[in-house]
């Protein structure tokens, strides 16, 4: 892990410029443009990740935060400090640092109000008891889905998804205050994402009980901007969707390698088209399963609690349409490979090998 002094003068300039730009966009999207820009600085703070200093109208951000934490966490810390600024300069409320006015401002905007200022990752914190039981059952079913018998594997995957569907139908009627919403950024930060990645995002939103949005991100050690996929939902569903995202990307690449070997394909010219086919084929398979569930009375009509949480975090959403890639034989082969994919058991050991007993690795 790079040390805080790994940032040279040019990188620090780019990071401060990015923080100022994110402050401006967040002031517009979450705070109705009601605040004046503060002074930004990077510091060697050790006791806190960042702080708003009312006397100097400054937001100080720890270099260690920028270097050692994902940019998503840096942005959550920035929002946290902006909430402090809003309470002090707009509401003009004098209270303890995390008093009721501050907590209300955070709640209304989907901001983490805890002192650390960093929204918990999908594997952190206590998982509700029912969700924990469901996850355990899903884990066992996904183990069966790794069977060499294709019919047994398909049946296990369908049963796991049906279990998640039944759980979510029950949970969406629970009081919102009793539910545990979170978010995660999945996949790489890139300037432009390919069509198969966008199809994958649609799979998560339509079949795995989360909301998704392409949101701005930044690679501070390179000084480069990009976009990343954010998923929002209950903690258990975000963990599941996070795994599905990684599984399908890896399975798609593995299918492409098998296709190249089987058909003596040279080069990767048709790789992206093939991967679009994989995602479309898997999506078609899930949609057939969804129609069967609907015939059995299990109909998913969305989750108002998740949608409300998503819109608190992203109140000003813009939609962009992009054209797809030309369909050819590679697409057809990919689609056939996607139809055969079976979602099965992830690697054990929690998040990224870090322990903790989580269902899904990073």
pLDDT at 3: 52
Q: What are phi and psi of 230, to 5 degrees?
A: -105, 135
pLDDT at 351: 37
pLDDT tops 80 at residue 360: no
Sketch the domain layout of the chain as residue ranges: 4-109, 129-353
Rounded CA gap, 159 and 243, in Å?
A: 17
pLDDT tops 60 at residue 28: yes
Residue range 29-56: mean pLDDT, rounded? 94
* 346 vs 213, higher pLDDT: 213
Percent of the chain scored above 90 by pLDDT?
61
Directed axis angle between helix 271-295 and helix 329-340, to 10°? 40
Residue range 4-19: mean pLDDT, rounded? 88
pLDDT tops 70 at residue 14: yes
* Sign, Cα dihedral of 125, 128, 132, 138: negative
| Cβ 66 vs Cβ 220: under 8 Å | yes
pLDDT tops 90 at residue 330: yes
DSSP characters for 175-232?
-GGGS-EEEEEEEEEESS--HHHHHHHHHHHHHSS-EEEEEEEEETTTTEEEEEEEEE
Q: What is the pLDDT of residues 166-195, one digit of tens each?
A: 888 888 877 777 788 999 999 999 999 999
For 356, other C-beta atoms within 10 Å of its C-beta total: 11
Q: What is 4-109's CATH superfamily?
A: Metalloproteases ("zincins"), catalytic domain (3.30.2010.10)
Confidence of residue 129 (pLDDT cuts 50, 70, 90): low
C-alpha closest to that of 64 among 78, 79, 47: 47
Residue range 62-91: mean pLDDT, rounded? 95
C-alpha closest to that of 68 among 118, 27, 136: 118
Confidence of residue 326 (pLDDT cuts 50, 70, 90): low
pLDDT at 357: 33
pLDDT at 126: 44
pLDDT tops 90 at residue 38: yes
Calculate the average pLDDT of the chain.
86
Rounded CA gap, 345 and 153, in Å?
A: 11
Residue range 49-55: mean pLDDT, rounded? 94
pLDDT tops 90 at residue 24: yes
b/e sequence 13-47, b meaning 16+ C-beta within 10 Å? ebbbebbeebbeebbeebbeeebeebebebbebee
For 221, other C-beta atoms within 10 Å of its C-beta total: 12
Q: CB-side exposure of 87: number of CA atoms within 13 Å?
A: 24
pTM, rounded to two decimals: 0.84
Residue range 154-175: mean pLDDT, rounded? 85
Confidence of residue 62 (pLDDT cuts 50, 70, 90): very high
Write out the two tokens for 190. Answer: 């890139």
pLDDT at 359: 44
Residue 67: CB partners within 8 Å, gap ≥ 6?
A: 1, 2, 3, 4, 6, 7, 220, 221
Q: What is the pLDDT of residues 201-215, one digit of tens each?
A: 999 999 999 999 999
Q: E-assigned strands of the chain?
A: 39-43, 50-53, 58-62, 181-190, 211-219, 224-234
C-alpha closest to that of 305 among 222, 237, 227, 226: 237
pLDDT at 254: 95
DSSP assigned state of 90: T
Write out the two tokens for 230. Answer: 């954010």
pLDDT tops 70 at residue 54: yes
* 247 vs 145, higher pLDDT: 247
């Amino acid at each position: 892990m790079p040390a805080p002094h790994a940032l040279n003068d040019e990188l620090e300039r780019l990071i401060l410029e990015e923080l100022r730009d994110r402050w401006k966009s967040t002031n517009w999207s979450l705070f109705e443009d009601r605040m004046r820009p503060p002074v930004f600085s990077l510091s060697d703070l050790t006791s806190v990740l960042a702080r708003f200093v009312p006397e100097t109208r400054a937001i100080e951000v720890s270099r260690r935060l920028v270097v050692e934490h994902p940019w998503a966490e840096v942005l959550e810390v920035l929002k946290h400090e902006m909430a402090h600024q809003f309470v002090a300069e707009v509401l003009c409320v004098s209270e303890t640092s995390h008093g009721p006015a501050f907590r209300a401002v955070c709640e209304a905007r989907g901001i983490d109000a805890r002192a650390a200022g960093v929204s918990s990752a999908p594997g952190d914190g206590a998982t509700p008891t029912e969700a924990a039981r469901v996850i355990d059952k899903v884990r066992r079913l996904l183990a069966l889905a790794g069977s060499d018998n294709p019919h047994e594997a398909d049946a296990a995957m369908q049963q796991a998804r049906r279990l998640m569907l039944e759980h979510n139908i029950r949970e969406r009627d629970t009081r919102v205050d009793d539910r545990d919403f979170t978010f995660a950024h999945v996949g790489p930060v890139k300037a432009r994402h390919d069509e198969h990645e966008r199809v994958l995002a649609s799979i998560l939103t339509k079949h795995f009980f989360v909301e998704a949005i392409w949101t701005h991100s930044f690679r501070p050690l390179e000084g480069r901007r990009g976009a990343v996929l954010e998923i929002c939902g209950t903690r258990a569903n975000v963990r599941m969707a996070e795994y599905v995202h990684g599984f399908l990307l890896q399975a798609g690449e593995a299918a492409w390698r098998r296709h190249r070997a089987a058909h003596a394909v040279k080069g990767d010219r048709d790789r992206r088209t093939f991967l679009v086919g994989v995602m479309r084929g898997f999506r078609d398979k899930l949609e057939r399963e969804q129609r069967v569930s609907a015939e059995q009375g299990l109909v998913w009509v969305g989750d108002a609690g998740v949608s409300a949480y998503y819109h608190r975090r992203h109140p000003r959403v813009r939609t962009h349409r992009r054209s797809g890639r030309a369909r050819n034989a590679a697409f057809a082969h990919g689609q056939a490979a996607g139809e055969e994919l079976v979602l099965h058991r992830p690697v054990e050991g929690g998040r990224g090998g870090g322990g903790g007993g989580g269902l899904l690795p990073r």
